[in-house]
Amino acid sequence: MSNLEHVRKLAGVLRGITIAAMVVLPLVIVGGLAALPLTPDVLSVDITPSLDATRTQLILAAGLSLLRPLILLWTLNEMRKLFGAYIAGDVLTDHAARLIQRIGQGFVAMAVVPFLLRPVQSVLLTMANPPGQRSLAVGLDSEMIFFALSGGLIIVIGWAMREASAAAAENRAIV
């Protein structure tokens, strides 16, 4: 089996898994939002929210928490497009290389967005506390580092693939 056949075969499987994840993820999020009452406890933020937090503050904090799954969905969609291109034999092309770079950017965003959101959410959820008991949380966990490094790696691979696609295009112009 040639390399291209391997790519096509595995891309077909991965495209199916990606589409399934794109269907399941929103269902889980919508189901979770519908099933659970919007209380400070259900917000997945590593701080103790104020018991006096207003509903608007809670909704805003919950809405900000949805940014990460939205980025994940966007990244999954780019992955679906890439696997689709691979299935069609569109491997060493600028289009495929740009899709790889977008996936890398999605991974980086998966690291940066939670890092930026945590302080905002912590302020939102503790704003109702009396002065002196409000907090501003800043945190960096291993998951953020993993996504940032993986994203950076994928972006670099994307640049390398753009070089390869340019070389392949030049090779196609030689008979």
The site for other proteins (CB under 8 A) is made up of 170, 173-175
Q: How far apart are CA 125 and CA 113, in angstroms?
A: 18
User: Whole-number minimum distance, CB 170 to other proteins, in Å?
Assistant: 6
Nearer to other proteins, 35 or 173 (CB): 173
- The nearer residue to other proteins, 27 or 174, going by C-beta atoms, is 174
Judged by beta carbon, residue 35 or residue 170, the one nearer other proteins is 170
Structure tokens at 67: 């940014």
Q: What is the C-alpha separation between 111 and 88, in angstroms, rounded?
A: 31
CB of 171 to other proteins, least distance (A): 9
Kindly tell me which of 160 and 167 has the beta carbon lying closer to other proteins: 167
Q: Least CB distance from residue 166 to other proteins, whole Å?
A: 12
Residue 101 contacts residue 158 (beta carbons within 8 Å): yes
9 contact partners, CB below 8 Å, separation of at least 6? 1
Residue 163 beta carbon to other proteins: minimum distance, rounded to whole angstroms: 17
Which of 52/94 has CB closer to other proteins? 94
Give CA–CA dist 53/37, Å, rounded: 14
First to last CA, the chain: 26
